[in-house]
Structure formats: structure tokens, C-alpha cells
Amino acid sequence: MSKRDYYDVLGVARNASDEDLKKAYRRCAMKHHPDRNPGDASAEAAFKECKEAYEVLSDGGKRRMYDQHGHAAFEHGMGGGNAGPGFGGADMGDIFGDIFGNIFGGGGRQQGPRRGADVGYILELDLEEAVAGVEKRIEIPTLASCEPCNGSGSADGKVQTCTTCHGRGQVRMQRGPFAMQAPCPHCGGSGKTIPNPCPHCDGNGRVEEEKTLSVKIPAGVDSGDRIRLAGEGEAGPAGTPPGDLYVEVRVRPHAIFQRDGDDLHCEVPIRISQAALGDVVRVPSLDGELELRIPAETQSGKVFRLRDRGVKSVRSRHPGDLYCKVEVETPVNLTPEQRELLEKFEATFVGDDARKHSPKSATFLDGVKGFWDRMVS
């Protein structure tokens, strides 16, 4: 059975804002949440479907990939580290946990402290680095496990069970007809208390530090691609795993090329004489200079396609193409001899025969004449 379109699942337009997506997800999840539909397999499947749709559409990088490739964007490992639904992305607890975690007695939110926070890092690359692949060293500020207390937060290693929540990490509160659960105010949701806090981390088990990492960037990445480094995010509270590091690639603008997916575009200036008579010019490519044959009577703006001279991205089997757009350049700083030659050349454009040498100009002038005839008639 094929998957439904994620926008249809949430009932939003393709240009929906982040706030519209969040509201639509809440409506969908409230309608199909398992706690409101116990034993209903179809409701559970619909809840998972809207959760998956929101995970993709609420993430800018995943949303761009989905808009371009549909569900195929997350098949067969497409997208690098940002491989698809379920890999990081939106925190459903932040958006929805308060609703179902409290009203339905904690069914939508996990008990106790969660793992360390994920960390995002934007890595800028030159086009050449993005195309060929590169290894970069990055420095990120993060929370690391405190070494003196081994991340426990206790100076002597002793941890006690919280007497308020009895180790559950949550307390039950009665508000009118509703029974609600909230993190324990005494232990902060950990279920444990520390009688003798570590002086280095003040009992947090984590300290701020600069972490240096080496990141291998695969060949063919593009702006928006993300690489996930598992366990390299912030250290979690005592007894919980660290978060992940997501490195997002941003490719700097290039002086010659503009990239469009797997294809490259560039402008090639040529002289009037080259455009009129034809010539062979040298154009740049990622593999070095190439020869481009310019036919006689080439007009400015003509685009030539050089196959397989583009980029081989991380998601494609074959390289794209290189598109060269020729721009006829008007000569400047003319010598007296050059000016004289051009004047003699211009003098040849006389009478009705001049129209056949400049078909575009003749068509334009005919259009202007027809316009004025209609205006005065």
C-alpha cells in the first residue's frame, strides 16, 4: 500500500507555515491518539501516520527533500545523515506531551529525564570542497560529562532515591476532575537526589566545554544536507545517553558556477566577432578547462550543454551536466583603427538588406510600429 501525501495527512497546503503545521498536527494527533481510542488499530495507525508526516514537514531540510522527491527521498539512504522520519527532527514531547502526558496520565511522555540534547552546527564549504568531499575539524560549545564525578553529580558517588516521588520522577496532581502528572519538583524528574553534590559541576553531572571533532564530508553534498554524528551532542543527565550532533552543510556562492541540483551553470563571455564568425573557446569545468565550439551567428544568451560535466551528488549514480550561457560582450577602450573598422562595418547595414542581417532587431521594430499603429487608430 502506497503512502499518503504528508500534506494530505495533516490537511494543510504545500505552502503551510510552521505554525500551521503545528496546529494541524495537534488536531490530527488529538483525534487519533491511542489514549483516546483504546484498542482501535486504525486510530493507532493514523496517529503514527500524522506523527511521521509532522516529523518530516517540520524539519526544513527534510521538507525540501520531500517537496523535491516525495517519499522516495527517504528510501535507500537518501539524504545523508538526515535519512528520514524518526532521525531527530521535531521533538514531539515539546509539542504534544503536555496535552496527553497530563490529561491521560503520562501516556504520551516518557518517565524521568531524557537523553542529552541534540546539537546543530552549520558548516560552510566551498563548492570545490562540497563536490570532492573533505574532512573538516570543527569546534563546538557543548555540555560534557563531568570527569571528577563521572557524570553522576555526586562528590562521593552516593545517590539516594527521591522521597517525594519515590523514584518515579513524576508526581500526581489533582486539579478538579482531572488527574495530572508533572515532573517531581524535588528531583527535577530524575527520581534521584544527591546529598553531597560535586563541587566541579554543582551536582549537575555536566560542565561546559569546547569540543573539537573531525567530520568527514562525503563527495557531492549540497546546501541543506545534514550529517548525523551519534552521541556527539550534549551529555545527558546522570545515567542517560548523550544527544547527537547534526552538521548542516552550507555551500558558499562560487565566483564562476551556480549549482542547481546535480547541474552546474556558468556564463561565458565572447566577442562580437566570435559570435558572428564562430570560434572555439575554452570554458572552465570541475575537471579542468574544456573546449566549447561556438557556431557562426550565435546570439547572446545561447546555452550550450556539456553532458556529464556537472556534479555527482551523494544521491545520484551519474553526474549532472554543465550549462554554458554565452554572453556577447560589447568591446570597450577601442583603438582608432578598431573604431574605424566598426564604423565601416555599420555602414554596410543600409536599405532593406539590413533586415536580413538582424532578424531579431527587425522583428522588434515591426512590433513597435504595429503597437503605435494600434494606439493611434
Which CATH fold topology does 258-376 show?
Answer: HSP40/DNAj peptide-binding domain (2.60.260)
Is 1-109 a CATH 3.30.365.10 domain? no
Residue 104, number of CB atoms within 10 A of its CB: 18
Q: What are the residue ranges of helices labelled H in the chain?
A: 6-10, 18-32, 41-57, 60-69, 92, 98-103, 127-132, 272-277, 336-347, 354-357, 359-376
Q: How far apart are CA 305 and CA 285, in angstroms?
A: 12
**Of 61, 67, 75, 88, the residue nearest 6 (C-alpha):** 67
**Of 136, 122, 20, the residue nearest 61 (C-alpha):** 122
Q: What are the residue ranges of helices labelled H in 15-57?
A: 18-32, 41-57
pLDDT values of the chain reduced to their tens digit, one per residue, 377 residues? 567 889 889 999 988 888 888 888 888 888 888 777 777 888 888 888 988 999 889 888 888 878 877 777 665 444 444 444 544 444 444 444 444 444 344 444 444 446 788 888 999 999 999 999 999 999 988 888 888 888 888 888 888 888 888 888 888 876 666 677 788 887 777 788 888 888 888 888 888 888 899 999 999 999 999 999 999 988 887 767 889 999 999 999 999 999 999 999 999 999 999 999 999 999 999 889 999 999 999 999 999 999 999 999 888 888 999 999 999 999 999 999 999 999 999 888 887 777 777 767 656 656 666 766 677 76
The residue extents of the domains of the chain are 1-109, 258-376
pTM score, whole prediction: 0.57
The enclosing H or E element of 209 equals strand 206-217
**Of 225, 239, 5, 226, the residue nearest 114 (C-alpha):** 239
